[in-house]
A and B are shown apart, each in its own frame.
Chain A
Amino acid sequence: MTAVTAEQGHRAQTAPAAPVPPAASGKRRGRSVDDGVPRWQIYAPLGLYLLFTLIPFYWMLLFALRPAGSTSLVPWPVTGEHFAKVWNERAFGTFFQNSMIVGVASLLMTTVVALAGGYALARFDFRIKKGFMLALLASQFIPGALMLVPLFEIFKNLQMINSLGSVIIAETVFQLPLSIILISGFIKNVPVSLEEQAWVDGCGRLRAFGAVVLPLLRPGLIAVGSFAFVHSWNHFLFALMFLSSQDMQTIPVGLNTLIGADSVDLGALAAGGVIAAVPVVIVFAFIQKWLITGFSAGAVKG
């Protein structure tokens, strides 16, 4: 009857969520306490899907960590040669710094600009509100890839080609519409009466916003800010087109150079991939919980 003990062990851990009288345990052996789904029906498909998710990551780590020419399926002995090569010889150190500047700058710009716009949409009625909303929605249908040439001409006229500023602006602009819609959704969820209370207490609109609304927006701001960071960290085409000299390029462009090389150095490519993945994995691990609460806070419904 090992099944029973395993089941009891499981119950002991989930008990705080849904206490079940011990009398019921005999009848419901092998089934979940809360939802009546047999355990294997959860773990079997989940295990399969985890393999699909994790094997590609493992494959990249394997190539990045095992010595060149090895065909072992375990990265042992571990070598740092590929990382050293990519970071120094292939200038991924510089790319990393550039990507970081672009990511953080577009995060800040997107969040601040979207906060202002989102507040206006959530709290005011004004004449061009409908038109503004429509413009935000319509801009979702404009492919950034198809705007490359006219954007290139604009940045050329502004003398911003080959400076990170062009990429930061382009990333921010294409991230803005969705961010504004999301943030205005979050602000709508904060009752106006809370703000009005603060006004009555003598706060100005700005102070009331900072003291009352802003703290409640934390999950939303984390969601929007991390989107902006991850998006611009990952994005490829703008950097590819607007940044011509090697010391200005970003990580995705560097990876693309490795991919397109005549004889691809798989170890270096894998190490470059790991370097590209680390910051987004950290951000993701940090925001993963907020992401779901953030969305369920009414973001999807606007």
Chain B
Amino acid sequence: MANAVAKRTGATPRRLPYLLIAPAGLLMLGFIAYPMLSVLYYSLQNYNVTKPWRNGYAGFENFTRIFTDDPQFWDALAFSGKWVVTEVLLQLVLGVALALLVNQTFIGRGIARALVFSPWAVSGVLTTTIWMLLYNPSTGISRYLADAGIGTYGTSVLSDTGTVFWAAVLAELWRGVPFFAILILADLQSIPGDLYEAASVDGAGRARQFFHITLPHLKDAIVLSTLLRGVWEFNNVDLLYTLTGGGPAGQTTTLPLYVANTGINGHDFGYASALTTVAFVILLFCSILYLRLSKFGGDTK
């Protein structure tokens, strides 16, 4: 009914927008909505390929088990939180710093930008490949450092529970910072240059310019990119799956990794579905809370 453009031109059949969204809509219904609904359905079932005699309606049994009888769930949830907060904070700080840096005018800027942004396109598995070569206890960086008298031979950061977290964080930072840097740089370029000129005429130093012009301007972009990245870091399992496999001793198992292990290796699909549902609700709740607290878009639009 409220088809403003069509009314004005009179040339558009009312069905056109529906036809246009149909391919996307059907694909998403079939391969996102339907699987999601089936996850909801199975979360209320006992469904385990290896124990078919128990299959059937389970009510809220799976959920009760998650919250009262599954310490692994809480460990995985706590690790997910620690992982997401650490990664997003460090990536944001380094990403903003990097964007400010390559937004300056200097000789070699084009090539510097291309080089520092390049890990953006690197996959989780490739990141694992590269950092496994670096972390390798016998031929990795530590060997050459030990040759030079720093540290000891045979240091294996990935199998030591004290270092594995930061080893994984560093690898993920390496490819995660460029994402923020690219988005922030794009937003930096929309700040009118005369704002800074006016500010420096008024005697504002660079720090004050950053806090009074740059940061307020970047706010929406920062809120949105941290949210997207947070969700992405929560959900993405490629790197940890291949780099640590959730180990050593379950130390680096995030919630999605735990779900994947339960559903795929453990064949306990009913319970994995309940875990999925819980993870989804937690994620949605945190995201809405974050948008509310940050008053996204509130004062600009």
Contact = CB atoms under 8 A, between A and B. Distances in A.
Contacts of B101: 42, 45-46, 49
A71 interface: yes
Contacts of A281: 118, 121
B32 A149 contact: no
Interface string B130-155: 11111010010101100000000000
Interface residues of B, number: 104
B125 A234 contact: yes
Interface residues of A, number: 109
Contact of B126 (A34, A266, A276): A276
B107 A13 contact: yes
B38 interface: yes
Given A49-B98, A237-B238, A252-B126, A284 B23 contact: no
Interface stretch (A21-29, A75-83, A170-178, A210-218): A170-178
B117 interface: yes
Contacts of A169: 27, 31
Contacts of B105: 14, 17-18, 32-35
Which of A125, A126, A138, A284 has the most C-beta atoms of chain B within 10 angstroms of its own C-beta?
A126
Contacts of B116: 46, 49-50, 53
Contact of B187 (A264, A273, A300): A300
Contact of A116 (B3, B21, B32, B206): B21
Interface in B22-65: 23-25, 27-28, 30-36, 38-39, 42
Contacts of B115: 50, 53-54
A173 B106 contact: no
A245 to B, nearest CB: 18
Interface stretch (B67-75, B82-90, B160-168, B178-186): B178-186
Given A45-B101, A205-B16, 11 more contacts: A17-B105, A35-B104, A46-B116, A117-B20, A124-B5, A132-B21, A145-B237, A146-B235, A234-B123, A236-B124, A292-B185
Interface of B: 1-6, 8-9, 11-12, 14, 16-18, 20-21, 23-25, 27-28, 30-36, 38-39, 42, 97-98, 101-102, 104-107, 112-126, 128-134, 136, 139, 141, 143-144, 174, 182-183, 185-187, 189-190, 200, 206, 220-221, 224-225, 228, 231, 234-238, 241-242, 256-257, 259-260, 263-264, 269, 272-273, 276, 279-280, 283-284, 287
11 contacts: A116-B20, A120-B21, A123-B17, A125-B2, A126-B17, A127-B2, A143-B234, A173-B32, A233-B123, A296-B187, A300-B183
